[in-house]
Structure 1
């Protein structure tokens, strides 16, 4: 399954990431007493890593300012003799309260210089998917079950106070056959250098798609990305992206599945030029993005989900996709987002949209936390050639999707999704059942 799984799991998958999307930049805003950080800080206090307010207590029954929380986290970051579990808690808290930690200035910089130069994170992941498609023959269905595992390592190395180097290594295979093309092979999936200068961020290398919305892909590309701004951020991306991922999704250009006879399926064996721009705004409970993605340069018989199939004389496969999305957090538990994209190069299946409601969210560090969501998605295959939603509704499909997440133990999470809808072009019923177990370390 060609998806960047960790990214989906910790940033957008199901609803877990939604609970930290709107970390306030105001260091004097209150953190409510039911915030997940209270459990994390209470655990650190119980382990003797932090001392609360300095009087050996932690006032977990009352609100606290984010600035006070950041002060406790900064003290915890200074400790070196902590367990791996406590270190994971500290790292998660530091990510949540990064703005407030930055406001502490020199103290945070000093702590970073004393930290280990290389940090390792990873996940062991098991995924089961079962897909069903009606075929041209009403009496038959196309069925496919996949048992897949992934072992992933994500090192981060500090170069200096402004630059880091990131990488991702994956080993994956199929559980049911103990085989597959990638079984037991460890592959360097991503590697990039990242520079931080106040409100400017620069990435160079084989890096993840920074915009990564409904439309194109969450697979990496080789190139560069620049982000600048504060509340209003501008992201520019450019490079080369693997077109083979757009080549065969089990349906041909007419939406027919591989079980249907007399249809030729294009296979991708090329790369495409890729450029994108995104304008993003986030303030308090609201965020919004709008932007544009362009791809061109793939030759004939490649990238069948990029070429619009509108001009047989056109020798290049291309896409010009405009998109917009927005989300609003009503309170600690309730979140809604909507997205829309359109490929102006296509005459049909040229738009994609999604509406999603999230309730709560499972946090890896918070045992017993859970979340659920309900969504309707219509992902025209040329507007969403390799959608980031592919664990449920895929590009070229539409329908209802429901999902849930649950933290069984600290750093052990369960996920489930169910999609029921149609393959758009073929106008045939389609379903997918998705289950996943993640063990983070």
Structure 2
């Protein structure tokens, strides 16, 4: 599953480098009392995910703090809410503006140093993770096990006051084979690779609207990533706050060579042309503290869809997939979600092969910034390649070319700041319109986030 984890790493480095600066402001190291209004403001910004506190990621709200230390935190908040980013609420932005006015002398001096260092850093903020991943598929024909070590880098690059560029780059080393070479000369191919998962430019045209151009991330929010959680080469426009509409158009690559099975063997020869489809989608979703509700339409058009789906009877050159879904939060930790999708094309194919659905009960979640936090879930998946061509779920045996149905359970835990472990188990069946085969999968991941 895609889990976006954002930390102001560049700002922290910059602030740390500036820590030896002597400010010209009057009495710059006077203590800010613990009952000062700025403490409550910063605490609220931390709860809202705007800042992480000190450079080391902590926030000591019950201790005295120098104005210099407070300015460091305010500088982080400015980096998260200024100009392009605009992901914070209007209340958070107003709170940051008030803090900036209070600590403007310290920030003026810090800002001079920030400008100097940002030039040397070329305005690039680097984030990412190092992770170990384990997969083990169990079928009547035998067991396959795979391990890989991954480095993921997600730089954000400032273009001007309105535009940013983003990328997600992933290098995976085949830990089973204990080497990091790319695909060899002969089949089978090993599971090591370097891939640019996403690369795009983004701008905001209003407080509630943004545009992305390039190889853009696409995830069907309404159905929890059941239909698609991947990237499309094209454009995406999103607008709205209470109700948000997302329109995406471009080219989608079905290349099975970008997916490896659990023993690290790529599913196909990457030198062979594989299905690429024209893709378009429209999703409308509403989000609140209590619920998520939405609907979406996805169109894939290619003359090779039957080859990808694995059904000779699928002779249409299109998949038109409608999906609906939602989730309800019973408490701040317990939620229940469900989704359903149907492909209206493929007239010669059994209806059971053109639908997908998912139900999941979730508790809490592992927060990288909160050691000791944890989450758990249990869900039932029914996934077909004609209705859920690129799902986000970790546990299901999605690396095969067959359709899948069964139960998945999982847990996640944060033992230390920015270290998250997760486990998942799937028990179910691979199936066609006429046959079913038992199967199960164990999945584990340990991620170190920076």
> TM-score scaled by structure 2?
0.70
Match of 1:342 in 2: 342
Where does residue 139 of structure 2 map in the other structure? Answer: 133
Q: Secondary structure, in 3 states, of the residue corresponding to 1:384?
A: coil
**Which aligned pairs between 1:5-404 and structure 2 lie closer than 5 A?**
8-10=2-4, 55-57=33-35, 69-70=44-45, 83=55, 85=57, 98-99=88-89, 100-104=91-95, 116=118, 117-134=123-140, 141-179=141-179, 181=182, 186-196=194-204, 197-211=206-220, 213-245=224-256, 269-299=274-304, 302-304=307-309, 309-310=312-313, 312=315, 314=316, 316=317, 318-346=318-346, 347-348=349-350, 349-392=353-396, 394=398, 396-404=403-411
Q: Which residue of 1 aligns with 2:423?
A: 416
- Tell me the alpha carbon deviations over residues 374-408 of structure 1, each in whole angstroms, 9 at most, x when there is no partner: 11111123111222114435371111111000111
Structure 1 residue 173: deviation in Å? Answer: 1.7
CA distance in 2 between partners of 1:73 and 1:248 (Å): 36
* Cα displacement (A) at 1:200: 1.0
Match of 2:269? none
CA pair 352-71 structure 1, distance change in 2 beyond 3 A:
closer
1:39 corresponds in structure 2 to: none
**Structure 2: 5+ residue runs without aligned partners?**
7-28, 59-71, 102-106, 184-190, 266-271
Structure 2 partner of 1:430? 439
Counterpart-to-counterpart distance in 1, 2:46 and 2:441 = 46
**Whole-Å separation in 1 of the counterparts to 2:36 and 2:136:** 47
Contact 2:227–2:341 (CA under 8 A) maintained in structure 1: no
Q: CA deviation at 1:167?
A: 0.8
Per-residue deviation, 1:67:
9.1
The structure showing larger relative contact order (alpha-carbon pairs under 8 Å, at least 6 residues apart) is 1
Shift of 1:75: 11
**Higher Rg:** 2
Separation (CA, whole Å) in 2 of partners of 1:421 and 1:234: 35
Label 1:184 to 1:350 Cα distance change in 2 as closer, same or farther (>3 A). Answer: closer
For residue 308 of structure 2, give the secondary structure of its aligned residue in structure 1: coil
| Partner Cα separation in structure 1 for residue 242 and residue 303 of structure 2 | 37
Q: Residues 171-196 of structure 1: CA distance to partner in whole angstroms, max 9, x if unpaired?
A: 11210102463677644332100111
- RMSD of the alignment, in Å? 4.0
Residue 362 of structure 1: CA displacement? 0.9
State how far apart, in whole Å, the 2-side matches of 1:273 and 1:330 are.
39
Counterpart contact for 1:244–1:270, Cα < 8 Å: yes
C-alpha distance 328-228 of structure 1, shift in aligned 2 (>3 A): same
Q: For the Cα contact (< 8 Å) 1:379–1:398, is it kept in 2?
A: yes
Moved more, 294-303 or 202-211: 294-303
Q: What is the deviation of 1:199?
A: 1.3
Judge which range, 348-357 or 431-440, deviates more.
Answer: 348-357
Distance in structure 1 (CA, Å) of the matches to 2:279 and 2:294: 19
Deviates more, 1:96-105 or 1:386-395: 96-105
Structure 2: distance between partners of 1:423 and 1:334:
30
CA contact (8 A) 1:247 1:268 kept: no
Q: In 2, are the aligned partners of 1:237 and 1:276 still within 8 Å (CA)?
A: yes
Query: How many residues in Structure 1 have an aligned counterpart in Structure 2?
Result: 364
SS of 1:70's partner is helix
More deviation, 318-327/387-396:
387-396
Q: Secondary structure of the equivalent of 1:101?
A: helix
Change (3 A) 1:319 1:301: closer
**Pair 1:436–1:247, CA change in 2 (3 A):** closer
TM-score by length of 1: 0.71
Do the aligned residues in 2 keep the contact of 1:74 with 1:108 (CA within 8 Å)?
Answer: no
| Structure 1 gap segments, 5+ residues each | 1-6, 12-16, 18-50, 135-140, 251-257, 259-266
Whether the 8 Å CA contact 1:164–1:195 is kept in 2: the answer is yes
Stretch of structure 1 that moved more, 283-292 or 89-98: 89-98
Following TM superposition, by how much is the alpha carbon of 1:165 offset from its aligned partner in structure 2, in angstroms? 0.8
Deviation at 1:438, TM superposition (A): 0.3
Contact 1:247 1:304 in 2 (8 A): no
Report the Cα distance in structure 1 between the residues aligned to 2:240 and 2:51, rounded to whole angstroms. Answer: 30
1:58 Cα deviation (Å)? 8.9
